Amino acid sequence: MIRLTRLNNQPLAVNADLIKFVEQAPDTVLTLVTGEKLVVRESAKEVLERILQFRRSILSGLASSGKDTEHSSGSNEHDSITE
């Protein structure tokens, strides 16, 4: 989820995976995969940066948990072989 602001200054959390289009015309308009449109105060560039930041945080969490799993299973296998 990314946090954005409606034109009336009300905060809004949007599921980044549901965003189909981000348009700047002149307000920023998000079109969701459902066809719903949202108008937000942030620029299109800012919305895209938040989406990228959100996805990076998800991927870095998966990568670090994957590395920990590989490292743990690797050392267990190695320990079994040496015993």
Provide the pLDDT for residue 66.
66
The C-alpha angle with vertex 11 and arms to 7 and 15, in degrees rounded to 5, equals: 105
Residue 82 has pLDDT above 80, yes or no: no
Tell me the percentage of the chain whose pLDDT exceeds 90: 67
Neighbouring residues of 7: CB distance < 8 A, sequence distance ≥ 6: 27, 39, 40, 41
Tell me the percentage of the chain whose pLDDT exceeds 70: 78
Provide the pLDDT for residue 64.
77
Provide the pLDDT for residue 67.
57
Beta bridge partners of 19: 32
Cα-to-chain-centroid distance, residue 73 = 29
- Both structure tokens of 63: 């990568």
Predicted TM-score of the model (pTM) = 0.72
- Tell me the C-alpha distance between 2 and 74, whole Å: 36
Provide the pLDDT for residue 65.
74
Res. 20 pLDDT band, cuts 50 70 90: very high
Torsion sign, CA atoms 27, 32, 35, 36? negative
Q: Mean of the pLDDT values across residues 50-56? A: 95
